[in-house]
Amino acid sequence: MKIKDIGEFGLIDRIHAKAGRSSYPVIIGIGDDASVLDVGSRNQAVTTTDMLVEGVHFLRDSIDPFDLGFKSHAVNLSDIAAMGATPVQSFLSFGLPPDMDVEIIDRFMDGFLEAGKGVPLSGGDTVSSREGWLISVTVIGVAPAGKVLRRDAAAPGETVWLCGPLGDSAAGLSILLGESRKVNEEDADFLIQRHNRPLPQLRMGRILLETGISHCAIDVSDGLLQDLGHICECSQLGAELELESIPLSRPIRELAAANGVDPYMWALKGGEDYSILFTVKEEKEKKLITVLEREEIEAFPIGRMVRGEGIVVYRDGSPMDTGKVGGFDHFRENP
């Protein structure tokens, strides 16, 4: 059997089965945005790691090394945000082609440190690579013991909320790839910036944890359907979404209109927005709305968790066919 036959998540399941369930002091092992470790104090350690590979995640000649540094840190910080934790240290490892200009790494580091906003770089590893540039980042965060936001903590009847608009990153990528014709420079820059420098929603995650408004969250890195699908699977529930409730920015609407495409497709399947998806019990919604206003953060209800399995998306009140709207899988042909 080839890896492409089982896909990225089939392979992770297989690795998980071999490794077995984790036990104390590991509170959450494989399967969430980050792993949680009891370190015998009021805080637990929350750890996540991600890898970026030249030719897969980026093309060396077409990405600004500053943006690459920014993004490689931001995507890890986003996983920490999805747990409601606070990042406290980062580790950075490189596989580097010997003929690469050191100035590229200087610029990469400027972006990496900018995204971290003071999270100290505390170690890493540097080796040579024959097959292009490899970047591996690990971030450790802390969260009050027993309070992290988990993928498996949704309950039926809870409303699904989304922090921030969706699809901008995929729309920006479509401009970069020449698939969409830009409407104007300013909007194009905005969408491309959303792709190149995603902003981890650390404040949102922390507020959800501290107020106890939500216990369940994930960051949207692989597309809304896929990531909400992870919450459904882990919580053994289904979900219903109203397509028109998904927040879209003005630039994405205008880009879609000018190119004759459906902006919701970017929102449903395009990943890399790094917004936070979370679920809230009905009785906590009032409190959420008050907190969002006070903190000046935007979030939008887009659907609900239901008994059963799978996600049904309603468009104009009727279920739509989402069969071809998959998310990103590293080993399968992506839609």
Q: Are strands 159-163 and 216-219 parallel, antiparallel or unpaired?
A: unpaired
C-alpha span between 196 and 203 (Å, rounded): 20
Residue 188 or 208: the one with the smaller Cβ distance to ligand ADP is: 208
Report in angstroms how near the CB of residue 143 gets to ligand ADP at its nearest.
16
Report in angstroms how near the CB of residue 272 gets to ligand ADP at its nearest.
10
71 in Cβ contact with 197 (< 8 Å): yes
| Upstream peptide bond of 25 is cis (omega within 30 degrees of 0) | yes
Q: Which range touches ligand ADP (CB under 6 A), out of 27-35, 63-71, 111-119, 290-298?
A: 27-35
- Strands (DSSP E) found in 215-329: 216-219, 238-242, 276-280, 299-306, 310-315, 318-319
Residue 17 or 257: the one with the smaller Cβ distance to ligand ADP is: 17
For residue 136, report the phi and psi dihedrals to the nearest 5 degrees.
Answer: -125, 130
Residue 81 or 292: the one with the smaller Cβ distance to ligand ADP is: 81
Q: Which range touches ligand ADP (CB under 6 A), out of 29-37, 90-98, 103-111, 165-173?
A: 29-37
Report in angstroms how near the CB of residue 14 gets to ligand ADP at its nearest.
10
Binding pattern to ligand ADP, positions 42-71, x when CB under 6 A?
--------x---------------------
Report in angstroms how near the CB of residue 275 gets to ligand ADP at its nearest.
13
Binding pattern to ligand ADP, positions 78-117, x when CB under 6 A?
-x--------------------------------------
Binds 12: which of Mg ion, ligand ADP, none (CB < 5-8 Å by kind): ligand ADP
CA angle 104, 110, 111 (to 5 degrees): 95
Residue 79 makes contact with Mg ion by CB under 5 A: yes
Residue 31 makes contact with ligand ADP by CB under 6 A: yes
153 CB contacts (<8 Å, ≥6 apart)? Answer: 215, 216, 235, 279
Interface residues for ligand ADP in 220-239 (CB under 6 A)?
A: 221-222
**DSSP 8-state code for residue 201:** -
Q: Closest Cα partner for 153 from 32, 246, 45? A: 32
Exposed/middle/buried for residue 97 (C-beta within 10 Å: 0-12, 13-18, 19+): middle
Asked whether the CA dihedral 145, 151, 152, 153 is positive or negative, the reply is positive
Tokens of 146: 């027993």
Residue 38 or 254: the one with the smaller Cβ distance to ligand ADP is: 38
Report in angstroms how near the CB of residue 25 gets to ligand ADP at its nearest.
17
Q: Which range touches ligand ADP (CB under 6 A), out of 28-36, 123-131, 184-192, 232-240?
A: 28-36
Binds 30: which of Mg ion, ligand ADP, none (CB < 5-8 Å by kind): ligand ADP
Residue 219 makes contact with Mg ion by CB under 5 A: yes
Binds 32: which of Mg ion, ligand ADP, none (CB < 5-8 Å by kind): ligand ADP
Report in angstroms how near the CB of residue 152 gets to ligand ADP at its nearest.
12
C-alpha span between 44 and 242 (Å, rounded): 36
C-alpha span between 133 and 235 (Å, rounded): 37
Residue 30 makes contact with ligand ADP by CB under 6 A: yes
Q: Are strands 276-280 and 159-163 parallel, antiparallel or unpaired?
A: antiparallel
C-alpha span between 264 and 87 (Å, rounded): 32
C-alpha span between 186 and 188 (Å, rounded): 5
Residue 33 makes contact with ligand ADP by CB under 6 A: yes
Interface positions with ligand ADP (CB under 6 A): 12, 15, 30-33, 50, 79, 221-222
Interface positions with Mg ion (CB under 5 A): 33, 79, 219, 221
